[in-house]
Chain A
Amino acid sequence: GQQLNQSPQSMFIQEGEDVSMNCTSSSIFNTWLWYKQDPGEGPVLLIALYKAGELTSNGRLTAQFGITRKDSFLNISASIPSDVGIYFCAGLDFNTDKLIFGTGTRLQVFP
């Protein structure tokens, strides 16, 4: 099945640093979503993007819907220990009504 490529696969950063991750696809999507999975829990939605070029913030998180509609980016500023987890992107294709998840970025934050 179709998958989205996320990079990096994992990140080890120090508290206070900024983080960037991205998601790319060979197909275009109508909606991009970013989820966070805390250890031992299911994914929770962070940000939803609906239009090419859209830039949306949620606290220290900022995400962008790529102009080509084939990619999306997530930035976390001034990371804190509770940012630890796995971040997933997901693309929604209206034609197939399918939600495709990325491969995930595992984030570790050291004090």
Chain B
Amino acid sequence: EAQVTQNPRYLITVTGKKLTVTCSQNMNHEYMSWYRQDPGLGLRQIYYSMNVEVTDKGDVPEGYKVSRKEKRNFPLILESPSPNQTSLYFCASSLWGARGAEKLFFGSGTQLSVL
């Protein structure tokens, strides 16, 4: 089954404690992206990757890092989480970048709370 898998689904942590949210897709997609969803603000792009070893900033990259060492994986790293990073996070992938948006697959989300 074609899918984007995020882990964990829920995470509670404390300020400053490094964490990683994993994302994996099994569709051989070249494009992967991270979004955060906040009430009243919709989905905002954090980082995206057009291919292995190619990553770029989205609209809200501050406080986040990503890596793309393999095609299937695109982890999101918070080196020193802060309370304003409490949010619902989604990973997504598609075959052809944003122009393949009608084929953009989303993971089920990771609800992060930073205390």
Contact = CB atoms under 8 A, between A and B. Distances in A.
A41 B44 CA distance: 17
Contacts, number: 62
Nearest to B58: A1
B70 interface: no
A6 interface: yes
Interface string B100-115: 0110101111000000
A31 B101 contact: yes
Interface string A70-111: 000000000000000000101010100111011110000000
Interface residues of A, number: 26
B11 to A, nearest CB: 15
B92 to A, nearest CB: 7
B98 A97 contact: yes
A42 B106 contact: yes
Contact of B42 (A33, A41, A42, A103): A103
A1 B59 contact: yes
Nearest to A44: B106
Given A1-B60, A88-B42, A42 B109 contact: yes
A92 B40 contact: no
A3 interface: yes
A6 B35 CA distance: 18
B107 A98 contact: no
A4 B40 CA distance: 11
